[in-house]
């Protein structure tokens, strides 16, 4: 049986390192860091997030497909940014490679530009580093940095989540950009062909416009989003637990939605346990939204890719998947 840890990624160790960082700086935590600029003349906070695409890049190298990986890069950053209620402002990228390939580089930047377009923000700048001898020929690495702004009165922090609230999931487009060290082990074991691997390069959904529409609609009807979680590494449990208070539990019922066929395939090909799957992948849910029960119907009406996946009950700050 293959596990994420056996493929080289220890989620528990990563979580411990995050806890260490949060203790070092009170500004670090949740999905994105906030910097209060009230002292500079406005009652707002700047919000920043940084991320990469991980070993999904290896599939792009293998298939020589580079036009969507930039969308993934922007998505991984900006989907974190909006979890605190921020409006994206601008994006910066870091692109490092052994040697510059102009056509490949143009495709990467086109993807980043498309991600920025979907996010309603601009590509403000970046850095292109040629590092021969450090990267293999034909390979590169990407990192992204997104900055946004939010009124302090409109920050989403999960503190208002309470017993009886409803948990809504927004569907993912597949694996998004997490768990690819494990996926690549399965590919190697089963010798999956390029047409199948190409499906794994489907870009990550950018949820900026969707969340903006939902929040605007709720506010017009006397409600608001209480909590947002971007479902990345560590799955639903590991991400949702970061944005709920300690006096409640979130009960997720996996029977309420159909997990993507491609995830079922990878589970079968790799003989991966269901517990490991839910601990590693998003399992078809790219983002969770918590709202008051009376507002859940409104969300489902305005967003076709939204569905109820659970509820909030009294508890001790845990996420239970059953």
Task: Summarize the confidence of residues 18-45 as an average pLDDT.
Answer: 68
Confidence of residue 18 (pLDDT cuts 50, 70, 90): low
Q: What is the pLDDT of residue 42?
A: 83
At residue 34 the predicted structure's pLDDT band, cuts being 50, 70 and 90, is: confident
Question: How many C-beta atoms lie closer than 10 Å to residue 219's C-beta?
Answer: 12
* Other CB atoms within 10 Å distance of the CB of residue 286: 24
Confidence label for 17 from pLDDT (cuts 50, 70 and 90): very low
Name the residue with tokens 């890049």.
Answer: 57
Count CB atoms within 10 A of the CB of residue 157: 17
Give residue-wise pLDDT tens across range 245-271: 999 999 999 999 999 999 999 999 999
How large is the average pLDDT for residues 12-40? 62
Cα–Cα nearest to 105, from 72, 138, 73: 138
Where residue 38 falls among pLDDT bands split at 50, 70, 90? Answer: confident
Q: Which domains does the chain have, with CATH numbers?
A: 31-154 (3.30.1330.10), 166-321 (3.90.650.10)
Q: Across residues 295-317, what is the average pLDDT?
A: 97
Across 295-308, average pLDDT = 97
Q: Of 23-37, 112-126, 280-294, where does mean pLDDT reach its minimum?
A: 23-37
Neighbour count for residue 45 (Cβ, 10 Å) = 22
pLDDT in tens, 52-111: 999 999 999 999 999 999 999 999 999 999 999 999 999 999 999 998 899 999 999 999
**Three-class DSSP category at 319:** strand
In this prediction, residue 31 has a pLDDT band, given cuts at 50, 70 and 90, of low
Burial 51-72 (b: 16+ CB within 10 A, else e): bbbbbbbbbbbeeeebbbbbbb
**Residue 207: per-residue pLDDT:** 98
Please give the residue that has the higher pLDDT: either 7 or 176. 176
3-state DSSP assignment of residue 84: helix
Question: Is pLDDT at 46 greater than 80 in this prediction?
Answer: yes
pLDDT at position 33 is 73
pLDDT in tens, 176-222: 999 999 999 999 999 999 999 999 999 999 999 999 999 999 999 99
- Taking alpha carbons only, the member of 55, 88, 297, 69 closest to residue 207 is 88
Q: What is the pLDDT of residue 9?
A: 44
Q: What is the pLDDT of residues 102-136, one digit of tens each?
A: 999 999 999 999 999 999 999 999 999 999 999 99
SS3 for 294?
helix
Q: Is the pLDDT score of 22 beyond 80?
A: no
- What pairing do the DSSP bridges indicate for beta strands 248-252 and 140-151? unpaired
Pull the structure tokens for residue 139. 């390979």
Sign of CA dihedral 44, 158, 203, 70: positive
Residue 29 has pLDDT above 60, yes or no: no
pLDDT at position 5, please?
Answer: 64
Provide the mean pLDDT of the chain.
Answer: 92
Token digits of residue 156 = 């989403």
Listed in sequence order, the residues at least 6 apart from 24 whose beta carbon sits closer than 8 Å to its beta carbon are none
CA dist., res. 1 & res. 57, Å (int): 25
């Amino acid at each position: 049986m293959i596990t994420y840890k056996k493929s080289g990624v220890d989620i528990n160790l990563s979580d411990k390192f995050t806890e260490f960082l949060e203790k070092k700086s009170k500004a670090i935590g949740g999905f994105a860091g906030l910097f209060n600029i009230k002292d500079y003349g406005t009652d707002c906070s700047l919000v920043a997030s940084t991320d990469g695409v991980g070993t999904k890049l290896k599939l792009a190298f293998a298939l020589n497909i580079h036009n969507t990986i930039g969308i993934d890069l922007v998505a991984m950053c900006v989907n974190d940014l909006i979890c605190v209620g921020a409006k994206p402002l601008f994006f910066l990228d870091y692109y490092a490679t052994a040697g510059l390939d102009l056509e490949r580089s143009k495709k990467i930047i086109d993807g980043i530009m498309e991600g920025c377009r979907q996010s309603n923000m601009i590509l403000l700048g970046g850095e292109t580093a040629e590092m021969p001898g450090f990267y293999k020929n034909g390979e590169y690495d990407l990192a992204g940095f997104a900055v946004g702004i939010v009124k302090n009165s409109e920050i989403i922090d999960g503190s208002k989540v309470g017993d009886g609230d409803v948990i809504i999931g927004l569907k993912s487009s597949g694996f998004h950009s997490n768990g690819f060290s494990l996926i690549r082990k399965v590919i190697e074991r089963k010798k999956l062909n390029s047409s199948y691997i190409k499906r794994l390069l489907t870009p990550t959904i950018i949820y900026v416009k969707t969340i903006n529409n939902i929040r605007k609609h709720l506010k017009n009807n006397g409600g608001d989003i209480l909590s947002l979680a971007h479902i990345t590494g560590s799955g639903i449990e590991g991400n949702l637990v970061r944005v709920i208070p300690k006096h409640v539990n979130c009960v997720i019922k996996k029977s309420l939605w159909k997990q993507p066929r491609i995830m079922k395939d990878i589970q079968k090909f790799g003989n991966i346990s269901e517990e490991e799957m839910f601990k590693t992948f998003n399992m078809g849910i790219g983002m969770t939204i918590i709202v008051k029960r009376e507002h859940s119907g409104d969300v489902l009406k305005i967003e076709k890719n939204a569905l109820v996946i659970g509820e909030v009950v009294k508890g001790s700050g845990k996420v239970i998947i059953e």
